[in-house]
C-alpha cells in the first residue's frame, strides 16, 4: 500500500465572490466521496479557493483502489449437475458468468440444500486509471448557481475556465476538464505574477503559489490575514473595525493577496445616520468601517486591495474619490427626505403596489392598521398610537434614501418619524417593525413595534392566502414562512395573550374585501377562497410553523408533545406554548408514563364504546366497587383546583395535581371491569372515565405522549 | 500575458475616446459610429443587439450616446446625467484572452494595474426589455466602477452561440478619474490654442433643458399614443419580415417607455406590462433578424478572417 499526493486545480476567470468558498469545499467533498465509493484510501484533504482558482489537495492518495471480494451463490447442485455427475447447461452458464471453469466452482450447503458457490477477490483498479473520470464527474456535479458558456464552446461553468492542473505525485494525469487539457502549469496573481508557473509535484502547490505566485490560496488563511490586518490597521487609526462574517467572506473571495489600506472621508458626513454610512461603505464598496471606543463611527475606513501597489497613495486617493460622491448623494437624499414629513407621503403610497390583487401599500397599511388597533389591548398599548405607527410605517418606501438603499426600509422611517416630532415610541416601532428579519434576529424592542410587526406580517400572510398563493414546497416568494415564524416568536417570547383565530378572522375579512373589490374587472380564473376556508388554512399554516419553531428554538419539545397540545387547537400561540412547557415539566414526573398510558387506555375504551353503542342513553346506576368510588372521590376533589389552575393558565400546576391521581387510576384499572354486565353500571363507569379524560383534555391530549 | 505598454494618461475627453478607438481597432474591431437614435445604452446599437444573434463572428467598437431620462438632475448633480456616453466593445466569439485585452486598454489610457487596485466584481446583467441576460463583472479601479464586462448568454430570447463578449466603459466616469476632477462638467473635453472646452461648455444647457423636458414638459398623453403606434408599427413590420426597420420601431417604443417612466406616468403594476410588451417586440425582432441572416447564408461566416 503506497500513496502519493494528489492535486486538482481549476483556473478560472474571476468567480462570483459568493461562490468561491462553497465551490472549493464542494469540490473536495465530491472528490472524497468518489474516492470512498471506489475504495481509494487517502490522508488529509485540503481545499483552496480564490477568485481565480478552485483546488483540492489530497495527501497519500492510495495507488490502488481496495480489493473487492466477490461472493456469488449459484443454482442448486441438483439442478447444476445431471444424474451422470456432469454439469448441466445451468451449471455451465453459472461458471461462465463467473468467468471460471465449472471445476473451479465451490459448493455451499444451506438450509435449503446444496448450491454452487463462487468466491474470488477482484483486485482494485489502479488509481491513475480511475482519476480522470472521478475528476470530470466531481467538476460536473459542483453546485454552480448560475452557469455560463463562453467563446464558441458548449462547456458551462460559473466563469470561463483557463487551465487545469491535475497531478498525482510528480505525474500529470492526462484528462480534459470543461474543454481544457490538464497539465502542470498554473498561474499566480493576475497582475503581480502573470507568467506561467510550473508545478513539479502536487506537494509544492501552496508554497509555489505563495512564494512565486503571490497568491494566498487557502481561503481560511486569507480570511484570517484580512481580519488581523484590518484590526491592526484600525488600531492605528484609533478604532475597531466593524467586522461582519458576510463582509469578511466577501472580501476574502475578492482578493488573492490582501493588502489592507486605510482611507477617510469628510467628517461632515458623520451627521448621516450610521446605517446609511455603513450601507455605503460595506454594501456598496466592501470597505470596513471603523468605530471609536465610544461606539461612534470614525470618518475613516479600510479597503482591502488585491495587490502590493507600487504607489498605495493612488489606491487610497482613488477609493476616497469614490466614497465622497456616494456619501454626498446619500446626504442629498437625507436632506431632501426630511424636507417633507413622513405622513405627507401616505397618499402617494396608493401608487406603490403591494400586490396587484390586494392593492397598494396604502391599502395594506389601512388593513394592517385595523389589526394593530385590535392587537393593542393585548400588548397594553395605546390603540391610537398603534394605528398612527402603522399608517406611517410604509411611508419611507417613497423616500430617496430607501430608493438608494432598500435594505434601510424601516430604519429610515424611524429616523424621519423622529425628525418629524412623532412620539419616540412610534419612531422606534417603525424602525423595528420588519424584525425579526431572519432566524435568530432580535424582536422589536417595544410593545408598539411588536404590534406593527405582527399586524404587518399577519396581513401579508392572510392576504397572500386569500389570493390563493400560499407557499408550496420550496416556493415561498413572499417569505411567509419567515413572517409566520416572526409573528409566533413575538407572541410567545413577549408573552402576549392574543387570540390568533380572532386576529386571523379580522385580517381575512379585510383582505377578502380588498381582493373582491379588485375582482370586478378581470374575470377570476377560479372561484376565490371563502373567508372560513382562508381562516382555517392560515391558522393551520401558522400552527405548522410553530412546529418548526419548536424544533429550531426549543430543546426537549418532541413531536408527541406538540401533537398533544395541537389536538386542543389553542386560540393563542402563547397559551399553546404554556401548555407545551407544562408537558415538558409533567414528563419529568415519575407518574407521567403511567398516566399517559392510562389516557391511551381510556381513549380506546371510550372510542370502542362510542362505536358499538353510539349515543344510546342508558341511565347510569351508582358505582359500587371501592376502587371506582375512590377514583370518583379523588377526581371530584381534584377538579376544582385543576380547573382553577387551568383558568390561570398554570398548566404545570394542573398537571401536577392530576398526576396525583395515578394511584387511584392504576387501582381502578387493576380491579374494576369497565364492561360490566349490567348496562347501568357500565354506563356509570364509562361516565367516570369520560369525566377523568375530559379533565386531562382541558390541558392536552395525554394519550399522544409516550407511556 | 505580456505586460502592456503603459501610456500617458489622455488629457482630454476626446483624447480618451481616440485612445480607446485606436486600441480596439488594433484588436481587429470594426470601428462604428453611434447609432442615430435615442437609446438607453450601447447594447441597443445594432452592432451589439443584433450581431449577438446567430452564428456569425463579429467584432466592433464605438461610442454610443445614451439617454436615461430618469437620471436627469437639471445639471445640478456633478455625477449624474440623463445624456452621457458609453464606449462599447463587442467580440464574438469572446476570445480566451478577452480580459487581458481589456486590461491592455486600461494601460493604453495610463492606468497601471501594478499601481491601481483593479478588481473584477461579479455583476450579472439582465435586460427585461431586451429579453437578454449575461454573466460578468463590474470592473473596479480603486473601488470605482469604470466598466461593465458581460458574456451574453441570451439576447431577444435567443441563446447566444457563439457567445458575444461585451465591454462597456462609462466614459465620463473614467475621464473624471483620469483627469482628477470632481464634477462631470469640469471635464476638459478639448484643449487647443483656442483654449479649453469643458464638458459643461458642451452639455450643461442640454442637461438643464432635457431634464425639464423629461420631468415636466413631455406630453404623456402623446407619448402613450406614440407607444401604441410604435408597437403596432413594429408588429406590422415583423409580419412583413422587415427586421431592421422593426428594430428601430422597437428602440423608439423602448425610449418612449423610458420617458413615460420619468414622468411617472406608468404605475408600478402597469410598468411590468409595458416591459413585457417591449420584450415581445424584441423577441420578434431577434427571430426575424436570425431568419433574415439565415436567408442570406450568414455572410460573415464566410469571412472568418474578420
Burial label for A162, CB within 10 Å (0-12, 13-18, 19+), is middle
Contacts of A17 in chain B (CB under 8 A): 121-122
Predicted local confidence at residue A621, as pLDDT: 85
pLDDT tier for residue A614 given thresholds of 50, 70 and 90: low
Of the ranges A615-624, A653-662, B188-197, the best mean pLDDT one = B188-197
- A319·B143 Cβ contact <8 A: yes
Do residues B196 and B190 lie in contact, with contact meaning Cβ atoms separated by under 8 Å? Answer: yes
Question: Using the 8-state DSSP alphabet, how is residue A169 labeled?
Answer: T
Q: Output the average pLDDT for chain A.
A: 92
* Contact of A436 with A494, CB cutoff 8 Å: no
A1-22 pLDDT, tens digit each: 589 999 999 999 999 999 999 9
Domains in chain A (CATH in brackets) are 3-65+126-211 (3.30.70.260), 69-122 (no CATH), 219-339 (no CATH), 350-553 (1.10.3210), 578-704 (1.10.730.10)
Poorest-pLDDT segment among A404-418, A544-558, A563-577, B95-109 = A544-558
Q: Which residue of B has its CA nearest to A194?
A: B1
The whole-number average pLDDT for the span B42-59 is 96
Region A564-588: mean pLDDT is 91
The C-alpha atoms of residue B71 and residue B74 are separated, in whole angstroms, by 9
Give me the residue from A14, A303, A309 closest to B120, CB to CB.
Answer: A14
pLDDT at B306: 45
Contact between residue B90 and residue B280 where contact means Cβ atoms under 8 Å apart? no
> pLDDT digits over A221-242, tens only?
999 999 999 999 999 999 999 9
ipTM, interface predicted TM-score of the complex: 0.94
**pLDDT attached to residue A526:** 63
Q: In the predicted model, what is the mean pLDDT of chain B?
A: 93
Q: Give the span between the Cα atoms of B268 and A705, in whole angstroms.
A: 53
State pLDDT tens for residues A298-346. 999 999 999 999 999 999 999 999 999 889 889 989 999 999 999 999 9
pLDDT of B2 > 50? The answer is no
The distance of A14 to chain B (nearest Cα, Å) reads: 6
pLDDT at A522 over 80: no
Radius of gyration of chain A (CA): 36
Is residue B34 less than 8 Å (CB to CB) from chain A? Answer: no
Q: Are B130 and B155 in contact (CB under 8 A)?
A: yes
A380-428 pLDDT, tens digit each: 999 999 999 999 999 999 898 998 888 999 999 999 999 999 999 999 9
Q: Which of B124, B142, B175 to mutate to test the interface with A (most CBs of A within 10 A)?
A: B142
CA distance A485 to A578: 17
Domain range annotation of chain B: 13-212, 219-302
If residue B31 lies in a helix (H) or strand (E), which one and from where to where?
strand B30-31
Which residues in A lie closer than 8 A to residue B116 (C-beta atoms)?
A: 309, 314-315, 318
Cα–Cα distance, A70 to A73 (Å, whole number) = 10
How does strand B58-67 pair with strand B158-159? unpaired
- Residue A164: strand pairing partners: A10, A182
**Angle of CA points B150, B152, B153, to nearest 5°:** 135
Given this model, what pLDDT does residue A474 score?
77
Q: Which CATH number describes the domain made up of B13-212?
A: 3.30.930.10
The whole-number pLDDT of residue B128 equals 86
Q: How confident is the model at residue B1 (pLDDT cuts 50, 70, 90)?
A: very low
Which pLDDT does position A615 carry in this prediction? 57
Of A148, A254, A314, the CB nearest to B135: A148
Interchain CB contact of B267 with A (< 8 Å): yes
Hey, which CATH number is domain B219-302, 1.20.140.10, 1.10.3720.10, 1.20.58.180, 1.10.1240.10? 1.20.58.180
What pLDDT score does A475 carry? 80
pLDDT of A503 strictly over 90: yes
pLDDT per residue over A542-562, tens digit each?
A: 998 988 888 777 778 888 899
Q: Ramachandran region of residue B28, left (φ > 0), alpha (ψ -120 to 50) or beta?
A: left
Which of A175 and A520 is assigned the larger pLDDT? A175
> Using an 8 Å Cβ cutoff, are B268 and A352 in contact?
yes
The residues facing A264 across adjacent strands are A300
When CB atoms are compared, the residue of A148, A162, A285 closest to B143 is A285
Closest residue of A to B115, CA-based?
A309
Q: At residue B28, does pLDDT exceed 60?
A: yes
Nearest to A665 by CA among A693, A707, A624: A693
pLDDT at A706: 79
Percent of chain A with pLDDT over 90: 68
Amino acid at each position: 500500500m503506497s500513496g502519493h499526493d494528489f492535486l486538482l486545480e481549476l483556473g478560472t476567470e474571476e468567480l462570483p465572490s459568493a461562490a468561491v468558498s462553497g465551490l472549493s469545499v464542494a469540490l473536495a467533498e465530491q472528490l472524497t466521496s468518489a474516492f470512498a465509493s471506489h475504495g481509494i484510501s487517502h490522508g488529509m484533504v485540503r481545499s483552496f479557493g480564490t477568485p481565480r482558482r478552485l483546488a483540492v489537495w489530497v495527501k497519500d492518495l492510495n495507488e490502488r483502489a481496495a480489493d473487492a471480494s466477490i461472493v456469488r451463490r449459484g443454482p442448486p447442485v441438483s439442478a447444476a449437475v445431471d444424474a451422470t455427475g456432469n454439469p448441466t447447461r445451468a451449471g455451465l452458464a453459472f461458471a461462465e458468468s463467473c468467468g471460471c471453469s465449472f471445476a473451479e466452482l465451490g459448493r455451499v450447503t444451506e438450509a435449503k440444500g446444496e448450491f454452487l458457490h463462487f468466491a474470488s477477490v477482484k483486485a482494485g483498479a489502479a488509481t491513475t486509471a480511475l482519476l480522470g473520470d472521478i475528476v470530470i464527474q466531481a467538476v460536473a456535479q459542483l453546485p454552480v448557481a448560475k452557469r455560463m458558456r463562453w467563446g464558441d464552446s458548449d462547456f458551462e461553468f460559473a466563469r470561463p475556465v483557463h487551465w487545469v492542473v491535475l497531478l498525482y505525485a510528480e505525474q500529470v494525469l492526462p484528462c480534459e476538464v470543461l474543454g481544457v487539457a490538464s497539465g502542470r502549469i498554473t498561474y499566480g496573481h493576475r497582475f503581480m505574477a502573470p507568467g506561467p508557473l510550473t508545478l513539479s509535484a502536487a506537494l509544492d502547490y501552496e508554497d509555489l503559489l505563495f512564494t512565486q505566485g503571490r497568491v494566498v490560496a487557502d481561503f481560511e488563511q486569507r480570511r484570517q490575514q484580512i481580519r488581523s490586518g484590518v484590526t491592526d490597521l484600525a488600531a492605528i487609526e484609533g478604532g475597531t473595525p466593524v467586522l461582519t462574517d458576510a463582509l469578511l467572506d466577501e472580501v476574502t473571495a475578492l482578493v488573492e493577496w490582501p493588502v489592507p489600506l486605510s482611507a477617510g472621508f469628510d467628517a461632515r458626513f458623520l451627521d448621516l445616520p450610521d446605517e446609511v454610512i455603513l450601507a455605503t461603505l460595506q454594501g456598496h464598496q466592501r470597505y470596513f468601517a471603523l468605530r471609536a471606543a465610544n461606539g461612534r463611527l470614525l470618518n475613516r475606513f479600510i479597503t482591502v486591495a488585491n495587490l502590493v501597489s507600487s504607489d498605495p497613495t493612488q489606491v487610497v486617493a482613488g477609493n476616497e474619490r469614490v466614497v465622497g460622491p456616494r456619501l454626498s448623494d446619500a446626504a442629498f437624499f437625507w436632506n431632501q427626505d426630511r424636507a417633507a414629513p413622513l405622513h405627507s407621503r401616505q397618499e402617494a403610497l396608493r401608487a406603490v403596489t403591494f400586490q396587484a390583487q390586494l392593492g397598494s401599500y396604502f391599502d395594506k397599511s389601512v388593513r394592517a392598521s385595523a389589526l394593530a388597533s385590535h392587537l393593542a389591548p393585548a400588548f397594553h398599548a395605546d390603540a391610537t398610537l398603534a394605528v398612527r405607527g402603522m399608517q406611517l410605517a410604509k411611508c419611507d418606501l417613497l423616500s430617496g434614501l430607501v430608493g438608494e438603499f432598500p435594505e434601510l426600509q424601516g430604519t429610515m422611517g424611524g429616523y424621519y418619524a423622529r425628525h418629524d416630532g412623532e412620539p419616540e415610541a412610534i419612531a422606534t416601532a417603525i424602525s423595528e417593525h420588519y424584525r425579526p428579519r431572519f432566524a435568530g434576529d432580535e424582536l422589536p424592542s417595544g410593545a408598539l413595534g411588536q404590534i406593527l410587526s405582527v399586524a404587518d406580517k399577519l396581513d401579508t400572510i392572510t392576504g397572500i392566502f386569500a389570493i390563493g398563493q400560499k407557499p408550496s414546497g420550496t416556493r415561498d416568494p413572499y417569505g411567509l414562512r419567515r413572517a409566520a415564524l416572526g409573528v409566533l416568536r413575538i407572541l410567545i417570547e413577549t408573552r402576549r395573550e392574543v387570540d390568533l383565530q380572532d386576529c386571523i378572522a379580522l385580517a381575512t375579512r379585510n383582505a377578502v374585501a380588498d381582493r373582491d373589490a379588485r375582482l370586478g374587472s378581470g374575470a377570476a380564473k377560479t372561484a376565490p377562497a371563502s373567508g372560513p376556508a382562508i381562516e382555517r388554512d392560515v391558522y393551520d399554516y401558522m400552527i405548522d410553523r410553530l412546529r418548526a419553531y419548536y424544533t429550531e428554538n426549543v430543546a426537549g419539545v418532541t413531536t408527541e408533545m406538540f401533537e398533544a397540545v395541537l389536538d386542543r387547537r389553542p386560540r393563542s400561540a402563547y397559551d399553546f406554548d404554556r401548555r407545551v412547557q407544562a408537558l415538558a415539566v409533567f414528563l419529568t414526573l415519575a407518574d407521567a408514563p403511567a398516566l399517559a398510558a392510562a389516557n391511551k387506555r381510556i381513549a380506546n375504551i371510550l372510542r370502542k364504546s362510542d362505536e358499538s353503542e353510539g349515543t344510546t342513553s342508558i341511565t347510569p346506576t351508582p358505582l359500587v366497587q371501592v376502587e371506582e368510588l375512590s377514583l370518583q372521590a379523588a377526581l371530584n376533589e381534584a377538579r376544582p383546583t385543576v380547573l382553577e389552575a387551568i383558568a390561570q393558565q398554570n398548566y404545570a400546576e394542573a398537571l401536577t395535581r392530576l398526576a396525583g391521581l395515578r394511584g387511584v387510576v392504576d387501582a381502578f384499572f387493576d380491579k374494576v371491569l369497565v364492561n360490566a354486565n349490567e348496562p347501568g353500571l357500565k354506563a356509570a363507569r364509562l361516565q367516570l372515565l369520560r369525566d377523568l379524560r375530559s379533565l386531562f383534555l382541558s390541558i392536552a391530549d395525554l394519550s399522544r405522549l409516550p407511556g | 500575458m505580456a505586460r502592456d505598454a503603459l501610456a500617458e494618461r489622455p488629457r482630454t475627453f476626446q483624447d480618451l475616446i481616440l485612445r480607446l478607438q485606436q486600441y480596439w481597432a488594433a484588436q481587429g474591431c470594426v470601428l462604428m459610429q453611434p447609432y442615430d437614435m435615442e437609446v438607453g445604452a450601447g447594447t441597443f446599437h445594432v452592432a451589439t443587439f443584433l450581431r449577438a444573434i446567430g452564428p456569425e463572428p463579429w467584432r466592433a467598437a464605438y461610442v454610443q450616446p445614451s439617454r436615461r431620462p430618469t437620471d436627469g438632475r437639471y445639471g445640478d448633480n456633478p455625477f449624474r446625467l440623463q445624456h452621457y456616453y458609453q464606449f462599447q466593445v463587442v467580440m464574438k466569439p469572446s476570445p480566451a484572452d478577452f480580459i487581458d485585452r481589456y486590461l491592455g486598454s486600461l494601460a493604453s489610457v495610463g492606468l497601471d494595474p501594478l499601481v491601481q487596485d483593479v478588481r473584477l466584481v461579479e455583476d450579472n446583467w439582465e435586460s427585461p426589455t431586451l429579453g437578454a441576460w449575461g454573466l460578468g463583472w463590474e470592473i473596479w479601479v480603486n473601488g470605482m466602477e469604470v466598466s461593465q464586462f458581460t458574456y451574453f448568454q441570451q439576447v431577444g430570447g435567443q441563446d447566444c452561440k457563439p457567445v458575444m463578449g461585451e465591454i462597456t466603459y462609462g466614459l465620463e466616469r473614467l475621464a473624471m478619474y483620469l483627469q482628477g476632477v470632481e464634477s462631470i462638467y469640469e471635464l476638459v473635453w478639448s484643449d487647443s490654442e483656442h483654449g479649453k472646452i469643458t464638458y459643461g461648455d458642451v452639455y450643461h444647457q442640454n442637461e438643464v433643458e432635457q431634464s425639464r423636458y423629461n420631468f415636466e414638459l413631455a406630453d404623456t398623453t402623446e407619448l402613450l399614443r406614440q407607444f401604441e403606434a410604435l408597437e403596432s408599427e413594429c408588429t406590422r413590420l415583423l409580419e412583413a419580415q422587415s427586421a431592421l426597420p422593426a428594430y428601430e420601431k422597437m428602440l423608439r417604443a423602448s425610449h418612449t417607455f423610458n420617458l413615460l417612466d420619468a414622468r411617472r406616468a406608468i404605475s408600478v403594476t402597469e410598468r411590468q406590462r409595458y416591459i413585457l410588451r417591449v420584450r415581445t417586440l424584441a423577441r420578434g425582432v431577434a427571430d426575424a433578424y436570425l431568419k433574415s441572416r439565415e436567408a442570406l447564408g450568414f455572410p460573415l461566416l464566410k469571412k472568418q478572417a474578420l
